Amino acid sequence: MTKEDPLKDYHKKRNFDRTPEPFSNQKSSKGKARFVIQKHDARTLHYDFRLEVGGVLKSWAIPKGPSMDPSEKRLAIPTEDHPLDYIDFEGVIPEGSYGAGTVMVWDTGTYRNLNKKDDEIVPMERAIEEGHVDFWLEGEKLKGGYALIRTARKDRKFWLLVKMKDDEADAGRNPLVEQPESVLSGRTLDEIAEDENE
């Protein structure tokens, strides 16, 4: 029996004759596991948080974006696995397509798995299944420990993204406002949209 294609939902939702989004993994992944946070100006502005796990990008939509303040819990809604190539996707998804709107690479870098049980490292896949994932981000804007924790509300699965209390925590810092532009191109959302319309 073959394992179900993890990108099935990703492919089903999109028409690749229309969208500039990547179809699959063309670039191979070497070295440390990576993450990306994409700012996505769709029907409502949100941030898409993606962690490289098991050859795909495990994904959550975060309406308010990440916080540096450990007392702030940010709602995170799981979305379909994305191909690894999505990690540097920046551009405009055309009107009428799934997720139509401008996408920016707001932050990217590597991460470390911090999940441990009885001194043994718990693989990321299992931590996600169990609904509690601890990791350390080494991004350009975000650094430090974060936890993604699954919770149940009205029979639907919701997660929370929470900054851990460590030396990188800083309630006075708001990179969403202070550093709004792309780490790939330095562009704002408006500039990305304008460039695509030329």
Q: Count other C-beta atoms under 10 Å from residue 198's C-beta.
A: 4
Enumerate residues 96-125 that contact Mn ion by CB under 5 A.
Answer: none
> Which of 41, 48, 90, 107 is close enough to bind Mn ion by CB under 5 A?
48
Q: Which is nearer to Mn ion, 40 or 141 (CB)?
A: 40
Give Cα separations from 97 to 12, 19, 91, 195 (angstroms): 12, 7, 13, 19
Stretch that binds Mn ion, among 12-20, 45-53, 90-98, 186-194 (CB under 5 A): 45-53
* The pair of three-digit structure tokens given for residue 113, joined into one six-digit string: 């798995």
Of the candidate spans 25-33, 38-46, 123-131, 138-146, the one that interacts with Mn ion by CB under 5 A turns out to be 38-46
Number of residues that bind Mn ion (CB under 5 A): 2
Q: Which is nearer to Mn ion, 66 or 70 (CB)?
A: 66
What are the start-end ranges of the E strands in the chain?
A: 34-41, 45-53, 56-62, 73-82, 91-93, 101-113, 116-117, 120-121, 132-139, 143-153, 156-163
| Residue 65 vs 145, nearer CB to Mn ion | 65
Q: Give me the least distance between CB of 170 and Mn ion, in Å please.
A: 26
Whether the CA torsion 152, 105, 121, 162 is positive or negative: it is negative
Beta bridge partners, 144, equal 137
Of 40, 58, 82, 163, the residue at the interface with Mn ion (CB under 5 A) is 40
Residue 41 found at the interface with Mn ion (CB under 5 A): no
Q: Which is nearer to Mn ion, 89 or 111 (CB)?
A: 89
Distance from C-alpha of 86 to C-alpha of 102, rounded to nearest angstrom = 14
Residues found near Mn ion in the complex (CB under 5 A): 40, 48
